Structures are given as structure tokens and as C-alpha cells.
Amino acid sequence: MTEQTLHKLPQIFDLRDESEALYELLKPLTDADFERPTLFKSWTINDILEHLHLWNVAALDSFQNEDAFDAYLQEILPYVMEGRIKDCERVYIDGLAGHALLEAWRAFYLEMTDCFKDVDPKHRVRWAGPDMSVRSSITARLMETWAHGQAIYDLLGVERQDTDRIKNIVVLGVNTFNWSYATRQETPPGPMPYVRLVSPSGAVWEFGDNNEQSRIDGMATEFCQVVTQVRNVGDTALQLTGAVAEDWMAKAQCFAGPSETPPAPGRRHLQN
């Protein structure tokens, strides 16, 4: 058994490893490459890294320094609600860009994951929405790193090789079935469909009660892509059975904040 398998909060290793994979992808680039726009809202690589870095800082502050977290949240939340988050983040990052930003991001996520090694996974921390457990906080950071990282993999034309650490994102996607509707002030049209997914290792992950009339079948990676809104469901091979499955996958949102519209068909894809 590995330390990661035995650890009470294995998500910290998953976050570190997902971040390290993205770091290795970015390390050979030139500083000029970091200004290239992605297909995600035309954010550049710099934009994505500063977003990941600043919210990593916020996540650690929510555990170690609530006053600093509250001050940051009070300033940035109005921008989030208005869809102008980059305006505020660019002020906070204070011109850090390119490899300097890359190294600052890496140094901090390594420090952050080390700080959480001996924390009770159920310990509650503050966030922009309701308080959450440390496990949920770290899982959210993993989800954001994976999801925003997809725009960079797409830009560079690199097919990401996922591992079973994405199960954290699958579980988050399943657990936010109701949230996908609540953020739109809607009521789910029925119970959550049965979800049956094939993991990167080939294992089968199942959620909910087996139901032939209401279900989602397919690859775990594609389910993650849809619930994080990095792909339109129509650009995946997910098999949707029943009206609830179709409706959910058309609006799934596993992240906090106001409701977001998934990308249009063909809008987010691997670039040549």
C-alpha cells in the first residue's frame, strides 16, 4: 500500500499530481507562449494560471487565515457575480506572468498540499458559498486545476492522459446534480439518473440505482468534461437515456458561483 492509498486525505496527492502534470506541460514554453489565448473565454495561459494560483491562496487562507480570506472575498465577490473576475485577479497578481507566474504557482501548490497533510478531512473551512469540509475544498481545487488545465491541453494540441484521480471529479459531478438546477433556480425534473462510467484504468464506476429508463453510460473522462463545462455533451460519446439524463447533461455545473452556460457544440476542442 502506498502513502497516498493509506492517507486520510488522498485528495491532496491527487491535487499535487494533477498540478505537476500541468506544470510539466508548461515548463518548455516561452514566456510569449503564455500570452496565447485559449478557447475558454479567450483566457490566456497567464489568465488561467493566475486564476488557479489566487484561488489556491484563498483555499489555504480559508484554513489558516480567515481574516485574509474574508478580505479577499469581500473585494473579489462582486466581480465574480458580475462575470468580471479577471479584472480583479489581474490587480491581485500584480503583473506576475510567464515562467515567473508558473514557478510561483508551483511553489505555492506544493506548500499548500504539504500544509493539509495532517488535517482532519472533515474540518470545516469557509468559502464563497456555504462552508465546506477540507476534503471538499481540496477536491474543488483539483477540479478547477483539471478543468482549466483542459483549455491549455487543447491549445497546445496535447491529448491528456487521465488517471483514476479524476474519480474525485466524477463524485463531485454526481453530488452536484441538484446544484446544477439550484443555480438556475430550477427544480430537477426527476431523480438523478443511474450513472455507469468506465475509468481511465478500465474499472467501472457506478452511482445511483440501476435504471434502464434513466441513465448515463460512457467514459469517466467525458463525464468530467461535461460537468465541468469544458465540452458540450454533444461533442462526447456519452449515452444518455431518458429526459432527465438529457436535461442534466445539457446544464450540468459542478462548480460554485452563478449559473454558467456550457460551451456550444464544437466550441471547446483539441486544437491542431
**Is residue 187 scored above 50 in pLDDT?**
yes
* Helix, strand, or coil (residue 39): coil
The pLDDT value given to residue 81: 77
CB 151 within 8 A of CB 26: no
Q: How many CB atoms lie within 10 A of CB 213?
A: 11
How far apart, in whole angstroms, are the C-alpha atoms of residue 193 and residue 212?
A: 9
The average pLDDT across 216-227 equals 98
Q: How does pLDDT run across 133-167, given as a tens digit for each residue?
A: 999 999 999 999 999 999 999 999 999 999 999 99
Q: What is the pLDDT of residue 107?
A: 97
Percentage of residues in the chain having pLDDT higher than 90: 82
Inform me whether the pLDDT recorded for 6 exceeds 80.
Answer: no
Measured CA to CA in angstroms, residue 40 lies from 49, 129, 239, 240, 267 at distances of 13, 24, 25, 25, 9
CA 172 – CA 261 distance, rounded (Å): 18
Does domain 9-161 match CATH 1.20.120.450?
yes
User: What's the chain's average pLDDT?
Assistant: 94
Q: Calculate the alpha carbon distances from 142 to 5, 12, 163, 181, 265 in Å.
A: 17, 8, 13, 23, 25
- Whole-angstrom Cα distance, residue 128 to residue 7? 28
Per-residue pLDDT of 32-74, as tens digits, reads: 999 999 999 999 999 999 999 999 999 999 999 999 999 888 8
**Architecture category of domain 167-251 in CATH:** 2-Layer Sandwich (3.30)
Domain extents for the chain?
9-161, 167-251
User: Which triple of cell numbers denotes residue 59?
Assistant: 483555499
Q: What is the pLDDT of residues 223-244, one digit of tens each?
A: 999 999 999 999 999 999 999 9
Cβ neighbours of residue 81 under 8 Å, at least 6 residues apart?
Answer: 257, 258
The crossing angle, in degrees rounded to 10, of helices 134-156 and 220-227 is: 100
Please compute the mean of the pLDDT values over residues 96-118 and round it to a whole number.
Answer: 95
Sheet holding 204-207, edge to edge: 204-207, 194-198, 215-219, 239-241
Q: What is the pLDDT of residue 260?
A: 93
**Confidence tier at 1 by pLDDT (50, 70, 90):** very low
The dihedral built from the CA positions of residue 28, 31, 34 and 37, taken in this order, carries a sign that is negative
Give the other-Cβ count within 10 Å of 104's Cβ. Answer: 16
Confidence of residue 83 (pLDDT cuts 50, 70, 90): confident
Compute the residue count for the chain.
272
pLDDT tops 90 at residue 82: no
% of the chain exceeding 70 in pLDDT: 97
What sections of the chain are H helices per DSSP? 3-6, 11-26, 45-64, 66-81, 85-93, 98-115, 134-156, 167-175, 177-182, 220-227, 243-251
